[in-house]
Amino acid sequence: MAQPEYGRFDLFRDSAQADAAKTRELAARLELRAQAADEIAARDAYLDLLALRPGERVLDVGCGSGVVTRDVARRVAPHGLAVGLDPGPGFLAVARELAERDGLSRQIEFREGSALSLPFGDAEFDAVLAVTTLTHVPDGERAIPEMARVARPGGRVGIFDLDTDSLILAHPDRALTRRIVAAHSDHGVVDGWLGRRLPGLLAGAGLQDVRARAFTPLERDPAGFYAGTAERAAELAAQVGAITDEERQRWLDGLHAEQAAGRFLAGRTHLFVWGTRPVAR
């Protein structure tokens, strides 16, 4: 049986080809998500687990608007370097602007390139991470040996990514919500189950002491990132025929009623998996 094509409508799948207006729209989505309290707490926690230290050289693969790159730069300052890599020149332009805004230009270098073929030599970095990136990349698991390659012996590799079937949407219509979440998981992201395979993939890339943690950022803000995700999920489900237009409108009406009543809740589980490149004996 042929493998279904997942992620046909992934907003970030071909972001390198997006025009300037679209890129800035996507960058704004990333920055909105980054501002939520649970997102900040999760980011602090997984960067703590990666044990970043002042003076280190750290690579952020698929940096987008540079949210994580900026936090990395703060941790490795004053003498370390955060390198943000992205295939999209539009994202890199936004990331440079935001780094300049935050006074971090001296601690950050941005480079254009693919996660599947990192434009760096072996063992260049003390730590390498990818945050909500590889699920959007066709054959994204191929990036993991590359990430291990550019980490120094004893260096750390960490991946923080979505588990798309775990999208949480508070809504009174359970059956219809399940259909919407499944459609969004299959069609809105290239590989929404990548996170579940990460421990095996990191071990297969030769990393040692591989560990995993789950994080579930939640929001109650009807103007927040996950409110937008809920709206898009319903639109996408109708677009691919998982629900009818009438069901889409009925579900959105129910969502808006929950928001107006102060009962809105949404979020998604993410997995952070990390390991260490062995030191040759």
What pLDDT sits at residue 14?
85
CATH annotation of 15-164+189-218+269-276? 3.40.50.150
88-139 tens-digit pLDDT = 999 999 999 999 999 999 999 999 999 999 999 999 999 999 999 999 999 9
216-254 tens-digit pLDDT = 999 999 999 999 999 999 999 999 999 999 999 999 999
DSSP 224: S
Provide the angle, in degrees to the nearest 10, between the axes of the packed helices 37-49 and 67-76: 50
Residue whose C-alpha is closest to residue 270's, from 225, 215, 226, 219: 215
The mean pLDDT of 178-189, rounded to a whole number, is 97
pLDDT at 3 over 70: no
pLDDT at 281 over 80: no
Q: Using a pLDDT cut of 90, give the percent of the chain over it.
A: 94
What pLDDT sits at residue 29?
93
Locate the domains of the chain by residue range: 15-164+189-218+269-276
The mean pLDDT of 38-47, rounded to a whole number, is 97
What pLDDT sits at residue 1?
47
Q: How many CB atoms lie within 10 A of CB 161?
A: 24
The answer to whether 179 and 243 have CB atoms below 8 angstroms apart is yes
What pLDDT sits at residue 154?
97
Rg (CA), the chain: 19
Average pLDDT, the chain: 96
Provide the angle, in degrees to the nearest 10, between the axes of the packed helices 245-260 and 225-239: 160
- Sheet bearing 57-61, strands edge to edge: 108-112, 81-86, 57-61, 125-131, 151-162, 270-276, 208-215
Tokens of 126: 């003390």
Cβ-based neighbours of 31, under 8 Å, separated by 6 or more:
65, 67, 98
Q: Which residue has the tokens 């599947």?
A: 116
65-90 tens-digit pLDDT = 999 999 999 999 999 999 999 999 99
